[in-house]
């Protein structure tokens, strides 16, 4: 599987545009975090594009690597369950999502500590970027991370969000088992592309309500 600066920049631009459009379809403030997910993925992919072209520029590469790690390891486990919680109306599911949000915030703080205590670095392996940051990979942290990011979507009462979460979960298993060394970069790329489903959620919702 081949990735490149071009792939990251194209994905970043497309997702940023999709995210901006998705934000216009949010009808309440509570929907804005969920609607912003494609935009945040667009920013993350643009950051990885800069990492691709900054090998040989150590300062820029280090700054962008830190920025990418903040997205991948801290932002997503905190942000995703909260964004889904905000649009949930079912009381039982809301309580589960509150618990998953707590797990996500705990994981975010845990991984944030190690980003600064034991920072990794980026390098190219088999035409993908590998990040030397192993604190997510033990079974327990990885389980909590996936529970927060994918489990929250599976708990949602909105079917399109379920589809998005299931697709991201499938891409997790693919990236983890077949591309382990570059796992986080590849999984984030897949999840970024799949975040187009968030746009479809708002588009279909608005189209149905306009009938």
Token output for 56: 């040989």
Spatial CB neighbours of 19, under 8 Å, sequence gap ≥ 6:
35, 36, 37, 38, 39, 40, 41, 42
Rounded CA-CA distance 22/199 in Å is 5
- Whether pLDDT at 1 is above 70: no
Looking at the DSSP bridge assignments, the partners of residue 130 are 123
Per-residue pLDDT band at 191 (split at 50, 70, 90)? very high
Q: Is 93 exposed, middle or buried (0-12, 13-18, 19+ CB in 10 A)?
A: middle
Backbone angles phi, psi at 121, to 5 degrees: -135, 165
Per-residue pLDDT band at 210 (split at 50, 70, 90)? low
pTM of the prediction?
0.91
For the chain, give the percent of residues with pLDDT over 70. 96
State the chain's mean pLDDT as an integer. Answer: 90
- Say how many domains are in the chain: 1
The whole-angstrom distance between residue 57's C-alpha and the CA centroid of its chain comes to 26
What is the extent of the structural domain holding 161?
Answer: 5-209
- Whether pLDDT at 211 is above 80: no
For 7-36, write each residue's pLDDT tens digit: 899 999 999 999 999 999 999 999 999 999
**Apex CA 101: angle with CA 82 and CA 149, to 5°?**
80
Spatial CB neighbours of 181, under 8 Å, sequence gap ≥ 6:
125, 126, 130
pLDDT given at position 204: 81
């Amino acid at each position: 599987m081949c990735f490149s600066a071009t792939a990251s920049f194209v994905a970043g631009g497309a997702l940023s545009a999709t995210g901006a459009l998705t934000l216009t379809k949010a009808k309440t403030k509570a929907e804005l975090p969920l609607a912003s997910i494609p935009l945040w993925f667009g920013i993350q992919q643009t950051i990885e594009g800069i990492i691709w072209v900054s090998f040989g520029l150590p300062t820029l590469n280090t700054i962008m690597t830190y920025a990418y790690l903040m997205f991948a390891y801290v932002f997503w486990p905190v942000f995703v369950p909260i964004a889904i919680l905000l649009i949930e109306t079912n009381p039982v599911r809301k309580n589960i999502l509150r618990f998953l949000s707590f797990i996500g915030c705990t994981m975010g703080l845990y991984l944030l500590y190690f980003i600064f205590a034991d920072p990794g670095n980026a390098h190219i392996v088999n035409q993908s970027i590998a990040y030397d940051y192993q604190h997510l990979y033990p079974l327990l942290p990885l389980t909590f991370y996936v529970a927060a990011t994918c489990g929250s979507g599976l708990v949602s009462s909105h079917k399109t969000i379920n589809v998005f979460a299931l697709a991201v979960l499938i891409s997790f298993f693919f990236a983890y088992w077949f591309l382990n060394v570059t796992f986080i970069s590849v999984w984030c790329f897949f999840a970024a592309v799949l975040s187009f489903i968030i746009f479809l959620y708002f588009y279909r919702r608005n189209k149905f309500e306009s009938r």
